[in-house]
Amino acid sequence: MKTIILFSILHLILSQMIQIEYPYYCKAEDRQIKNCDNQEKLQVCGWFNSSAICMDFPCATSFENACLACQNKWVSKLTLGPCPKYPPINAHK
């Protein structure tokens, strides 16, 4: 019984992960969705577009799911997982 439950949970997680390929770029139709609460619970990092003014890295914020991230008018790109806290080591090369 535990194996079946574990397999079901794993299947659910994996099926949600492959619905969107990352990095994902928000589209106009993504911004029209009215109820994001019913969407998957898969944390993403929403990277702000060039119109946003950022004082520090990252120029992004973490969201509970892709739907919520694309509702933010400043977000243009999503990556899977929470936003990084520090820039990559080779970012200044």
CA distance 40 to 12: 10
Question: Has this prediction a pTM greater than 0.85?
Answer: no
Tokens of 51: 């119109």
Taking only the tens place, the pLDDT of each residue in 20-55 is: 788 999 999 999 988 887 777 899 999 999 999 988
E strands in 1-81: 24-25, 44-48, 60-63, 75-80
* pLDDT recorded at residue 5: 53
Is the torsion defined by CA of 16, 20, 26, 30 positive or negative? Answer: negative
pLDDT above 90: percentage of residues in the chain: 49
* pLDDT recorded at residue 8: 46
